[in-house]
Amino acid sequence: MGNFKNVFKSLRTAGGYTQQEIADKLNISRSTIGMYETGAREPDYNTLELIADFFNVDIDYLLGRTDKTTSLPESIYYLNDDARDIAEFMFRNPEYKVLFDASRKVKKEDIEFVKQMIDRVRGDVDDTGC
């Protein structure tokens, strides 16, 4: 697959991700990530698409066929709608970044509850509570 192993590792390290973090985000094993990076294994087409979408690059760039990537639409950058919604919220509300950083392993419902509490404390919500 050309230069995939080097491009993939370069994208991972440039993004500051560990092999385990990428494995978790792509729902594949860490050992598979390691094999991709050594060239012992190559991803199937579906996995290749997931990787390209995750790093927001086109497949030709990922395979090492070109040195430049085509800028892909933001709508396909994220693996799912929830991730895109969270990223958009963070972009529009940077004051919540500390909450996001602290909540990486917290359930979505708990994050929403804390956000509502912060809004109430800040006076952003009309609260007539008892």
Please, how many CA atoms are within 13 Å of residue 23, restricted to the half-sphere of its CB? 13
**23 pLDDT more than 90:** yes
The Cα–Cα gap between 57 and 61 comes to 7
First to last CA, the chain: 64
The Cα–Cα gap between 37 and 28 comes to 14
pLDDT above 70 coverage of the chain, percent: 72
* pLDDT score, position 130: 45
The highest-confidence range among 7-11, 68-72, 90-94, 119-123, by mean pLDDT, is: 7-11
As a whole number, mean pLDDT of residues 6-27 equals 90
* 16-25, 30-39, 73-82: least confident range: 73-82
**76 pLDDT more than 80:** no
* pLDDT score, position 55: 85
As a whole number, mean pLDDT of residues 66-70 equals 72
The Cα–Cα gap between 77 and 49 comes to 11
**46 pLDDT more than 80:** yes
